[in-house]
Amino acid sequence: MLVLTRRHGESVRIGPDVRVTVVSSTSGQVRIAIDAPENIGILREEIFERVASANVEAAAQASLMVSEFGSAGARSANQSGGDTNE
Amino acid sequence: MSEVIRFESRRVGTIEVGESDIVSFDPLPGFPNKTRFVVVAHAESSDFAWLVCLDDPDLAFVVASPWTFFPKYDPPVDRDHLAALSIEKKEEVEILNIVSLMGKEIFLNLSAPLLINASTRRGVQVVSDDPRYTTRASLPPLKEEGPKSQSTLVSEDSAKTEAAPAIAKTSSPAP
């Protein structure tokens, strides 16, 4: 991990297209500005973590759901119109 | 005609999928490196489906179309998510939400829908902090089958819950 020090108004480049600028910092809070292309997702870590734990929990429960549902019920995936035969 | 792949899932059993059915997802939060998924129907007219991971026989989710249960759902999708799928309008995207349980209650994760570009078979999971939605939205009772169909997903006492096998709907019409 790279750790570096920046002052108010200074930036960091990540790759050619991403720029992170320290806008201000006061009493333990840092405001940062991020310039990045549209296709790069930017998230607060805790929101990502919340979805991750919801996913992990749901996946763990799949075995519970299957115990009722039974594996025999699973079919071939043919969502796109049933033309995958032969 | 795409090639048919046989896959042994430890969750749903053996499935046969066409190569064109495979959706390439950006790894879902919590599951790095898992990218190839396929949507498998539960049964003919079930409101639920499996999202089976072809990279991990132990990984599968139960998913559902949100509007079956929440007709007014407005997915928290912004331009970034659509751009990631090379899509311009929300309408062009297929949306599924992950199902979870707590006891006998069933929930949909409305705050993190799965988006699939049906034509390119690319998918992403939206990670949003939209205050309107939660990761555990309780499912309202199904209209056409009455509230009982809810409990069939996880019922321990199958005697009480009539014929419906778990998530799959029965083919017999509701009384």
Q: Which residue type is seen at B156?
A: E
Cα A69 versus chain centre, distance: 30
Q: Give the alpha-carbon dihedral of B118, B121, B122, B123, to 10 degrees.
A: 60
Q: Which of B19, B46, B80, B150 to mutate to test the interface with A (most CBs of A within 10 A)?
A: B80
Which residue in the set A59, A70, A80 is minimally distant from B61, CB to CB? Answer: A59
**Which residues of chain B make contact with A63, given a CB cutoff of 8 A?**
11
Mean per-residue pLDDT, A5-23: 95
Nearest CA-CA partner of B84 in B31, B32, B127, B26? B26
pLDDT at res. B1: 58
Q: Which residue has the higher pLDDT, B64 or A84?
A: B64
**Which residues of chain B make contact with A74, given a CB cutoff of 8 A?**
9, 12-15, 40, 42, 50
> Which residues of chain B carry a pLDDT beneath 70?
1, 44, 141-175
The Cα–Cα gap between B126 and B143 comes to 28
For residue range A28-76, what is the model confidence (pLDDT) as tens digits?
A: 899 999 999 877 878 899 999 999 999 999 999 887 776 554 443 444 4
Neighbours of B162 (CB within 10 A): 13
Query: In the A/B pair of chains, how many CB contacts fall below 8 A?
Result: 156
Q: Which residue has the higher pLDDT, A25 or A41?
A: A25
Please state the ipTM of this predicted complex.
Answer: 0.78
pTM for this model (two decimals):
0.75
Nearest CA-CA partner of A79 in B119, B39, B5, B11? B39
Give the list of residues 6+ apart from residue B139 with CB closer than 8 angstroms, or none: B69, B105, B106, B107, B108, B150
Neighbours of B78 (CB within 10 A): 14
The Cα–Cα gap between B95 and A82 comes to 20
Judged by CB atoms closer than 8 Å, whether chains meet at B14 and A74 is answered as yes
The Cα–Cα gap between B97 and B114 comes to 6
**Which residues of chain B make contact with A41, given a CB cutoff of 8 A?**
80-81, 84, 127
Sheet holding A11-14, edge to edge: A11-14, A18-26, A29-35
